[in-house]
Structure formats: structure tokens, C-alpha cells
Amino acid sequence: MRYHLFILFLIVLLWGCDSSHQLQNDLQEYQERMANVLDEESPVQLTVSLRPYPPLRELQQNLPETTIKLFEFYEFKHCELYSLVAQRNTTLGNLQLPSTRYVYERQLINGLQQCLEDTQDPKLREKLANWKQIKVGQLPMVWANLMQLSAEMKQGLSSNYGFVKGDERDGLIQSINALKFLLHINRNNQLQSSTLEQHLKILKDNSLPAKLWLSQLTLSKNLPPTTLWLEQHTSDLRCSSSRSRQKLEYLTNVFQRFFIEKIQPTASQINNYHYQFSPIFELIMVHPDLSPHFKKHVKLNQQGFDTYKVAMQQHIQFWQNLYQRCNKQPGKKTQ
């Protein structure tokens, strides 16, 4: 019994120290402190989730298999292509991981080119040239599968765990570099499998696009009802009475301590991250090789930024109106 109580205490302690939910915690405490001052029930905090990632079957680019006959296979023993094809059991086809498949296809194209240069037989050269043309034509689809089907990308763009922290722990620069690397990977002539996997791991571990979208969605869903709730419960506040002035002072302190000092700095970083990611996502949203379902997922999440901005502006406007009505300047005590 004591052991179970200890485990429960440890879980609660760890949850309380979990900075990945700090924005949600700050917003909840902001609402509760306002409710205490106004002696009213706190506005209900809405739990939000990102839209689900598109089903992989809708994103899958189905590549036709390119087969090589056994007698043709033995004709290329003089080339590196021989060992590459052997890895695939004489079939130039599917591999399990999109990242592994992409690296293999790149190696295969290079192997075909090298074999073309080392082969004199016209018939063999014709076969090699034909296979290379097929593989080069399929590479954009292989890349699209890498972008859309990788578990790391799915995690990075749809995880519903954690919010923007607003500091270096978010991994902004690393995440941007990882997306740029993937977006322009076809230009990389010295691609290493380990480098590709490292960039995918960064997207999975940080999941910053998803955290960014979840953070702005949480504020855009929770701030409007909070603003409306405050308008309703401060409409009869008489700024001339000492009791009202004291209540306004308490409200101002809560606003300063929780919104200005905690929520707004995180919101500033949300703005910053949005503008930093936007050029990358704009390229993704118009890329001809990516699935419409994938591009729609990115587009709809990106568009949520406008709703979030309005929610922030309306909440700040409420406070400006209240201060103006009560002839109070932010940061100064009421007279």
C-alpha cells in the first residue's frame, strides 16, 4: 500500500515539474486566480487536440516494381550495381522504412550510372540507361514517401503532447534545419544514411511544429471564452468605489503576473516560431510531388495562426478598455 502511494506521489510530482505543459498550466492558473478575485466560477478550460494526421494509405505513392531477370543480374558482376541489386533479392522494389528506401534508390541510381560508364556492350548499356531513366523518374515519389510516411515526420506534425516552452529547449534552429534538409535533400550529392536519420530524429524528438500548432490552438480556443467571461463579470465594476478599485487592483496584479509575465512571452515565441517556419511550410504547401492530403494538413494548421492572433488581440483589447473606463494606466496603482 505504501509502495503504491509512493508511486502515485512520484507521478504527481513529476507531472507538476513537467515544463512541457507549462502554457496550459499558466492559462489554467490565470483563469482560477481571476475567478478567486471575482468570486465566480472559473471559466471551463477546453482540452484541444490537433487534427489527426492523414491516413498513410492516402499519402502512399505506389511505385511500380522494377524487376531484373536472373541472367541479366549476372551480367553486371563487374559493377557495384551487382551488390546493390543483391541486397534486394534481385528486385528493385520496396523497402520497409521510407528513409532506407530513399537512400537505397539514390545509391541505385548512382550504381546504374557507374555501371553505364564501365560497360561496353551496347545491349547492356541500353538496359542500364532504361533502368536509370525509370529510377530517376520515380525518385520524386520515393522522396514524397520519405516526407509523408516517415514515423518521425508524422510525430513532428501531429503529436498532441506538449506545448511551446519558449526557449532553447524547443529546438527551433535544429527543427528548421531538419525540415530544410529534407525539403532540399535531392540537391545533396553526398547523402549519408546516418545524417538523414539524425535529421528525422530531431523532428521526432522536438515535434516543434505540432507543439507550435497545439499551443496556438489552445490559446485560440480558451482565450475567447475567458475574455467573454471577464467582460460579463466586470461589466458592473464601479471604478469610483474603493471596493471596486481594490478589486481592479487585484485583477491587474493577476493579469500582470500570469498573462503579461508568463503567457504573453510564450505567445511572442509562438509568433516568432510561426514566422520562422512559414517559408518552409509555404514551399511544402505548393510542392507538386506531395499529396494534397499532406499539404492540406499543413495548411489548415498554419491557418490556425490567424484565429490565434485574433483571440490574443481581443483579450488584450478587453484590458485596454477596462483600464480606459477606470482611468487606470497599466503598471500603476489605482487612485
* DSSP track, 123-161: HHHHHHHHHHHHHHHHHHHHHHHHHHH-HHHHHHHH--S
pLDDT in tens, 292-317: 999 999 999 999 999 999 999 999 99
From 9-18, 77-86, 145-154, 305-314, the region with the lowest mean pLDDT: 9-18
* pTM for this model (two decimals): 0.87
Residue 174 CB neighbours (<10 A) = 17
Q: At what angle do helices 264-285 and 292-325 cross, to 10 degrees?
A: 150
Quick one: cell of 269? 515565441
pLDDT in tens, 257-274: 999 999 999 999 999 999
Instruction: Map grid coordinates 516543434 to a residue.
Output: 208
pLDDT, residue 15, reads 42
Do 97 and 124 form a contact (C-beta atoms < 8 A)?
Answer: no
Using the predicted structure, report yes or no on whether residue 9 has a pLDDT greater than 60: no
Which of 92, 91, 125, 124 shows the shortest CA–CA distance to 108?
92
pLDDT in tens, 36-95: 999 999 988 888 999 999 999 999 988 877 666 666 666 777 787 777 777 765 455 455
pLDDT in tens, 167-178: 999 999 999 999
How far, in Å, CA of 183 to CA of 330, rounded? 46
pLDDT in tens, 170-229: 999 999 999 999 999 988 888 899 999 999 999 999 999 999 999 999 999 999 999 999
